[in-house]
């Protein structure tokens, strides 16, 4: 996979895994709007995947994402592995065994948010109804990117294969990879902002090569992201909770002997 480099936004807000927590997602975006007004610049929104599953309102999260992509210029959805399950379900490319595995991993909550239970309605009927009533959801997932670049930053759901150039990644790795990326020590051509692997501290984690933004929203009640100043090459972490509006948060710094990618980054 070779990725072209169109002109990038000057400011990007990357948002970690939502997993059906539409209220947190909406609260995060409201906070971004206030911050954007104060700073005099409207950032693009890069959603780092896994909009759906586990939380109670995946449909609502999808609807919010649709509005983000239509109303905020330059915004992108990066495909997550849970999004891919939903995409394959809507395309009728999941086997029955795979459907049951997906349901166990949070897909049951996703179907419930659309008003369906597999125990009551056959998969084909659910698929047809969702595609007829919410055609934009299949289109949005179909158009989602595996990886995106802006300046010295790469944006992806799961991570990258460090053995490959970042602009020649396998899309499957972008959606699914874990240990080979998370355990890799050493700088890469870009600082990678990603989700997929929940940070047990409930805080984003920064190393020399990545900024991990999945803080387990559905489990911890914290949805995290980062405001990226592309030209300055800086990123500042942000977080919302059920009881707290968007606010700056200092990431956990995991220095593996090479410093971290944000050591020189100013606090927002």
pLDDT at 267: 37
Sheet with 205-206: strands ordered across: 147-150, 153-156, 191-194, 210-212, 205-206, 252-253
Which fold does the domain 11-253 belong to in CATH? Purple Acid Phosphatase; chain A, domain 2 (3.60.21)
Task: List, as one string, the DSSP characters of the chain.
Answer: -----PPPPSEEEEE---TT-HHHHHHHHHHHHHHHHHHT---EEEE-S--SSSSS-HHHHHHHHHHHHHHSTT-EEBPPHHHHHHHHHHTT-S-HHHHHHHIIIIIHHHHHHTT--TTTS-HHHHHHHHHHH-HHHHHHHHH-BSEEEETTEEEESS---TTS-GGG--HHHHHH--HHHHT--S--SSEEEE-SS--TTSS-EE-SSEEE----HHHHSEEEEEEEETTTTEEEEEEEETTEEEEE-PPEE--SSS--TTTTPPP-
C-alpha atoms less than 13 angstroms from C-alpha of 94 in its C-beta half-sphere: 22
pLDDT at 268: 38
Does the pLDDT of residue 10 top 50, yes or no? yes
Say which range, 7-11, 196-200, 242-246, has the weakest mean pLDDT.
7-11
**Tens digits of per-residue pLDDT, 126-153?**
999 999 999 999 999 999 999 999 999 9
pLDDT at 8: 79
CA distances from 234 to 19, 48, 266, 268 (A): 27, 18, 8, 10
pLDDT at 264: 54
What average pLDDT is seen over the chain?
A: 95
Beta carbons within 10 angstroms of residue 1's beta carbon: 13
179 against 264, higher pLDDT: 179
Label residue 263 by pLDDT band (50, 70, 90). Answer: confident
Please enumerate in sequence order all residues whose Cβ is within 8 A of that of 117, keeping only pairs 6 or more positions apart, or say none. 108, 111
Does the pLDDT of residue 49 top 80, yes or no? yes
Q: How do the domains of the chain map onto residue ranges? A: 11-253
Instruction: Report d(CA 95, CA 17) in Å as an integer.
Output: 25
pLDDT at 210: 98
**Tens digits of per-residue pLDDT, 63-118?**
999 999 999 999 999 999 999 999 999 999 999 999 999 999 999 999 999 999 99
- Which of 33, 27, 68, 23 lies closest to 48, judged by CA? 68
pLDDT at 6: 55
């Amino acid at each position: 996979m070779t990725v072209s480099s169109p002109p990038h936004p000057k400011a990007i807000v990357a948002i970690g895994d939502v997993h059906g927590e539409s209220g947190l997602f909406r609260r995060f975006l409201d906070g971004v709007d206030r911050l954007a007004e104060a700073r005099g610049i409207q950032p693009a929104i890069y959603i780092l995947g896994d909009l759906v599953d586990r939380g109670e309102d995946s449909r609502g999260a999808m609807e919010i994402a649709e509005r983000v992509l239509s109303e905020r210029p330059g915004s992108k959805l990066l495909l997550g592995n849970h999004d891919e399950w939903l995409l394959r379900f809507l395309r009728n490319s999941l086997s029955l065994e795979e459907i049951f595995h997906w349901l166990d991993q949070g897909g049951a909550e996703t179907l419930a948010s659309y008003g369906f239970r597999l125990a009551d309605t056959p998969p084909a009927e659910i698929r047809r109804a969702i595609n007829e009533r919410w055609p934009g959801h299949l289109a949005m997932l179909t158009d989602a990117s595996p990886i995106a670049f802006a300046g010295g930053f790469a944006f992806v759901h799961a991570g990258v294969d460090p053995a490959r150039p970042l602009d020649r990644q396998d899309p499957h790795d972008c959606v699914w990879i874990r240990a080979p990326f998370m355990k890799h020590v050493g700088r890469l051509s870009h600082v990678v902002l990603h989700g997929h692997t929940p940070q047990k501290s409930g805080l984003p984690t920064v190393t020399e090569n990545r900024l991990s933004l999945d803080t387990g929203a559905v489990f911890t009640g914290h949805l995290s992201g980062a405001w990226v100043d592309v030209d300055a090459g800086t990123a500042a972490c942000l977080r919302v909770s059920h009881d707290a509006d968007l606010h700056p948060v200092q990431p956990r710094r995991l220095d593996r002997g090479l410093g971290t990618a944000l050591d020189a980054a100013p606090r927002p």
